[in-house]
Chains A and B, each alone.
Chain A
Amino acid sequence: METIIHVQDLSKSYNADKILDIESLEIPKGQSFGLVGNNGAGKTTFFSLFLDLIPPTTGQIESKGVIVNHSEEWKPFTSSFIDESFLIGYLTAEEYFYFIGDLRNTSKAEVDELLSEFEDFFHGEILNQKKYLRDLSKGNQKKAGIVAALIGQPEIVILDEPFANLDPTTQIRLKRIIKDLSAQNQVTVLISSHDLTHITDVCERIVVLDKGKVVKDIKTSEATLKELELYFER
């Protein structure tokens, strides 16, 4: 399969502390890629580098041929939801979705069509609420953010801790959505999680980060969950 993401000699340091140090990492197109690691392992740092929110100390990330900190050309095919700072609090959920749709050249009708697929995911608590996003609960905010990241047929989707704060029903639905994305639409999905069960359920490949370094790179199988649990038990 063709590789869509190349990471090379990527490192990020604050003062003398190296918090991320990845020699090389290649992610093929359409893979669902999971990132696990304890707090401070560098998961969010990696995503922030990927979205060019922080500059790398050395090395680079090449996303579909674009070096992310040199050009903005990666923006049209990349979308993400990292945290609440990706939401616009004073918009209603619909307005927010249409805003993202406008940015990604997706018409209202197309956005509506996409939203209709997520009706059961929203559980009737997001749309037609006459409420601003800032007044929604944390869990519902997260749902809105995740769905917004799927608008406009992105080729790469980045979700940081998507399962946290969600209710069990929604977690199960989200897992199906992510699986479908990579299996049917060839979307490359990068997610991080602290929940080993969820991430092994969803991802074809799991990379374990520890203190900024890749310590495990596993193709998910029956034995993966056990292996991860053993690793983190140390």
Chain B
Amino acid sequence: MPVSTSPQGTPLWQRRTTRAQWLQYAAWMMGMSLFLLCWKVISDNTMWVFVEDAGRQGSDLISRMLPPRWEYASVLWKPMWDTLNIATLGTALGIMMAFPVAFLAARNTTPHPLVRSVALTIIVSSRSINSLIWAMLLVTILGPGVLAGIIAIALRSIGFVGKLLYEAIEEIHPTPVEAISATGASRLQIMNYGVLPQVMPAFAGISVYRWDINIRESTVLGLVGAGGIGLQLNASINSLAWNQVSVIFVMIFVTVLVSEWVSARVRHAII
């Protein structure tokens, strides 16, 4: 905080020193230049012939999609139901595995720093791989089908739920935990009485939020053969049946909308 004195003797205050101010201008300048440079590189690498008729291609695609072939919906109920099941069972499985991992990963509840680093590794490796990639791996191992989808969703959810939950555990109020320890409670009792009630709202909120995300993710798992509506989407695109693709889009859109509404209501009720 640069403070100086004016010729009249009144103290002056500026937010930054002149030097810091110039450095800031320079940083902005560099950032802008980098952005423009990247813009140029991308522009040079774009085949503009394809972009120029983008409007025509786009409207062509839309005209093929319309009107949607609504009869096709009758084939979709079963895969849609599979998709919901993959999301829900996968989330449940993921939460069950994430719950103990989070307690082992939180600094204030972990039994040993070594255990903590193992738990953190589990969380990071689960998070670093997208569920689509998990599904690809699992389809190779387990064969195509709903099971591979469920496990893919579960494995991806461990990292998400585990990370947010362990952060919630680290942010709890320490005094109730102290008070429960002072009664002579055992470690598990301290978790049960001191920690768990404090993280319960966060835990419920995180779980419902992850379920909501998983519904969206499970709609594409079929692209790699892991069951659900993505299988039909893939088949329709491959056979250029665009009027079926639009039906699938509408269906996914409505499902996601409903799941968002449900998760918002549940979170509101808990918190």
On whether the two chains bind one another, the answer is no
